[in-house]
Copies of this chain bind each other. A is one copy, B any other.
Amino acid sequence: MLVRVTADELRADEAIAAVASPAAGAIDLFLGVVRDNNLGRRVGHLVYEAYPSMAEKVMAEIGAEAKERFGLEACAILHRTGRLEIGETSLLIAISSAHRASAFEGGRWLVDTIKKKVPVWKKEVWEDGEAWIEGPESLGMQQAPAGLTG
């Protein structure tokens, strides 16, 4: 299984190739992308930080559970770290499956679970300040800055 935490650009083609299987009839790809706004704030860029070795370990565990749970052929999970501009891809997952229902359901479950469990954090940087965005998914809270600065 391809799992990777990296400062390099994430490439869709690599993830697709990593899940190729003659028995796969469906491949679902999900890209988490930096968008220009969040909760009404204009976002300039994001900075992602990870606990890389643990993040890769947790990603591999989640991927193995997804394969088992949804009967997938294969999956790949890549997360980028460092400074990301609007439109860049922070998270890339690919899964292959015999049929599309499990591809979509498995993809959705993977993304939800990654957001809850993988030790990665993002900081929003605006024109006039910045804040770590912590806990929106892992705590089931409203997404709100942990401590505003600047």
Using a CB–CB cutoff of 8 Å, the interface residues on chain A facing chain B are: 12-13, 16, 20, 22-37, 86-87, 89, 96, 98, 100, 103-104, 107-108, 111
Q: A12-B16, A100-B111, A108-B104 are in contact. Are A24 and B35 (CB under 8 A)?
A: yes
Output the least CB separation between A58 and chain B (Å): 19
A33 touches B111 (CB 8 A): no
Nearest chain B residue, comparing its CB with the CB of A37: B23
In the bound complex, residues from chain B placing their C-beta under 8 Å from that of A100 are: 30, 32, 108, 111
Other A-B pairs, 20, CB within 8 Å; known A25-B35, A30-B103, A30-B104: A12-B12, A12-B13, A12-B16, A22-B35, A22-B86, A23-B35, A24-B35, A25-B34, A26-B30, A26-B31, A27-B31, A27-B33, A28-B29, A28-B30, A29-B29, A29-B30, A30-B100, A32-B100, A100-B111, A104-B108
